[in-house]
Structure 1
Amino acid sequence: MKKIILTLFSLIAIQALTFGQQEVKTNDGKTVLLYEDGTWLYADSIPSYNIKVTSITKLELPKTNFKDKIITHTGYSLLYNETHEQANWVAYDLTKEETNKLFERTDKFISDQKVKTGTASDKDYEGSGYDRGHLAPASDMGWSSNSMAESFYYSNMSPQTPSFNRGIWKKLEELVRTWAIENNTVYVVTGPVLTNGLQTIGPNKVSIPNYYYKVVLDYSEPNIKGIGFILPNIGSKEQLQYYAVSIDSVEKMTGIDFFPLLQDDQEELIEKTLCIKCWSWKNIKTTSEKDENKATESVQCNGITKAGDRCKNKTLNLSGYCYHHEGQINSDTPKSNTEEIKSYPNKTTKSSSSSSQCSGTTKTGSRCKRMTTSSSGRCYQH
């Protein structure tokens, strides 16, 4: 598809995007995307590809230098950036069958032993206010116990604002699973946009990205296509189409060469074209997305603060812990008042013949006032 100088059009309704792209409507109602160099592409044109699909092993892997060490896990591969203490990119293919979750989330965040220089840790995120944002989503890795466990490696984490991680980023992850179902297989590369001068968190100085990207390739006949996204690390109520860009645009912003194993003419055609109408934009709920880990009512977090008090945050997580204290799940009992700790059911406690106040939460959100001798810390009603 040709790029043509903007002066050929009389343009109206310009809307600037955060990453330098502009959406414009022509006088005849067609939508085009403008770029900083003064060129444009039709946003809604449906390309007519004449591509012969060939079998390509590891098609999802970006181009790497001979010094780069690609780390391979069961469900994904990555290139680690020691300076920023997170991956430059995480890549994997996702099939229709793999969207059916067979294994539950482990929620056990651990270091990646394949990263010889070491990764981030719990201490980096503790009290930072940032989520441990998955790059390869756990919900894409539920087809294997190993892939699910490995999705919680810190090499697969990046500091994301809660409103971003649980909002538009999650919606995009769900949409990619929909595309895997509809197209049988998609190839995904995702990661942070890493630049100099980023703010950091924790003793390991984990960089906080301002932007994240995701590129997706459908390399199945008859409708071969590719699409990219660049999203700021903040909450957003915009539609995902708002952040859609060509793969070429993501390459320009990140310096990463995606899908280099494609034939040159195929790669050029797919990556320069942005076809909004080629993709569906309504999510299909899979078994991994039916809020199996969410309660119907929020409860007070079971976590213990640094001061030794019970956290006052509310949470819908069935674990009973808010995102600030997820690291305490299945951990050793925190050092605080012994009698207080007995009331938290997710902590390892010894049976006691003495009674303690039930740790359950009533429908009004207050703590149950019954006394119990149960080692679980809960009365019979809770």
Structure 2
Amino acid sequence: MRQSFGPAGGLDALRVTEGVWPLGDYADRQGYDPGFILSDTPLPLPGAGRWSDDLVELLPEARGQGDPTELRYTHFSVRMSRSRGLPLYSACNIDGAQSDRDVPRTNTWRRDPRIDPQLQNLREGYGDERRGLFSRGHMTRREDPNWGSRDIAKQADADTFHITNVAPQRQGFNGGIWLQLEDYVLDNTDRANLRVTVMTGPMLSDVDPLYYNRQIPVAFWKVLAFVHPDTRELTTIGYRRAQMDYLPRPSGGRFVFGDFQDSQVPVAGIAEESGLDLAAWAEFDVMAGASAQMELRVSSVSDFYLTR
């Protein structure tokens, strides 16, 4: 059963712009590279799975030779759900050897002119957490694609501030392991192979609660891929995090919570819950062969298993 709490007032008018970049500005965006880690073992973008009839397509005037459902940015790509107006996932290539963490934060959210603006919620439900509103939670973390020359890194940072790369998150949720996992994996890779690919997305469900006229995902997932320094093999790990405990309570009531914590989970389990086809990634999972419902509770990034 859906529940709806709170009025749709107090919308955030700061840090957003109604201006969009010209379509021509996106002509050089290459997006996600499947062969970024190992050219002979490419990791394709997930298959649409149960979302095959719900993918947002680029407007006719914005289409090129590529997949019309792939929004390409600098070092990352996004696919979106039409029915939810949210990303199904954002997939990013990270080159730790060329990372530029000193790029100034763009900090201005905007729509992408290549798709229907009605599918891009720039303002509703976002704003001051003390008023029960939500943060614009990056799917691809703003620092991750910021590598290469300074100009390219600056472009990548600005690209992460498209609202297509966002799902509603409570500020208390958006920290800890959620932000540290990519850095932890990079710190545990060989210095000669400082490359990581990370996919991030919301777990979208028909029973997600309703706030400010929008359904809010209560869980999120990540899948990371890298070459393990000891085995020299392509390796993937899966991570699930829920924000149920951070959601605003209904006035005069309370939620009954499940045992939601940070968990390392099989990639096959993420595929089953998200409805996406992650078979190419599940093949290299450190938890391959485990039940899709298995969860390993983690309290810090050092709790993650990086080998089978």
Shorter-chain TM-score bucket reads 0.5 to 0.7
1:132: Cα distance to partner?
1.0
Q: Distance in 2 between matches of 1:211 and 1:242?
A: 10
Q: Distance in 2 between matches of 1:75 and 1:149?
A: 12
Q: Distance in 1 between matches of 2:114 and 2:185?
A: 27
1:98: Cα distance to partner?
4.2
* Normalised TM-score (structure 1): 0.49
Distance 1:268 1:256, change over 3 A: same
Deviations 1:78-136 (A, max 9, x none): 11112222101111221222433241111111112223243011233135422111100
Q: Distance in 1 between matches of 2:97 and 2:195?
A: 9
* Normalised TM-score (structure 2): 0.60
Q: 2:40 aligns with which of 55, 65, 70?
A: 55
Structure 2 counterpart SS, 1:189: strand
Distance 1:242 1:163, change over 3 A: closer
Deviations 1:291-312 (A, max 9, x none): xxxxxxxxxxxxxxxxxxxxxx
- State the percentage of identical aligned residues: 22
Root mean square deviation of aligned Cα: 3.3
1:181: Cα distance to partner?
7.1
- Given that 2:240 and 2:262 are in contact with CA atoms closer than 8 Å, whether structure 1 keeps it comes out as no
1:208: Cα distance to partner?
1.0
Distance 1:192 1:176, change over 3 A: farther
1:64: Cα distance to partner?
3.4
In the alignment, structure 1 residue 199 sits paired with structure 2 residue 209: yes
In the alignment, structure 1 residue 248 sits paired with structure 2 residue 268: yes
**Equivalent residue number for residue 75 of structure 1:** 75
Moved over 4 A (4+): 65-68, 179-183, 268-271, 280-283
1:187: Cα distance to partner?
1.8
Distance 1:71 1:113, change over 3 A: same
1:217: Cα distance to partner?
1.5
Structure 2 counterpart SS, 1:124: coil
In the alignment, structure 1 residue 222 sits paired with structure 2 residue 239: no
Alignment coverage as a number of residue pairs: 217
Opposite residue 55 of structure 1, the aligned amino acid is: D
Q: Distance in 2 between matches of 1:115 and 1:255?
A: 23
Q: Distance in 2 between matches of 1:156 and 1:71?
A: 10
Q: Unaligned regions of 5+ residues in structure 2, if any?
A: 1-37, 56-68, 148-152, 247-260, 291-295, 304-308
1:219: Cα distance to partner?
4.3
In the alignment, structure 1 residue 272 sits paired with structure 2 residue 288: yes
Opposite residue 61 of structure 1, the aligned amino acid is: L
Larger Rg: 1
Distance 1:257 1:104, change over 3 A: same
Distance 1:137 1:181, change over 3 A: farther
Distance 1:198 1:98, change over 3 A: farther
Opposite residue 94 of structure 2, the aligned amino acid is: L
Q: Distance in 2 between matches of 1:176 and 1:222?
A: 14
Deviations 1:186-231 (A, max 9, x none): 22111000011322444xx443111100011124661332110111
Q: Distance in 2 between matches of 1:206 and 1:181?
A: 43
**Residue pairs, 1:18-167, within 5 angstroms:** 55-56=40-41, 59-64=43-48, 68=55, 69-116=69-116, 117-127=118-128, 128-143=132-147, 144-167=153-176
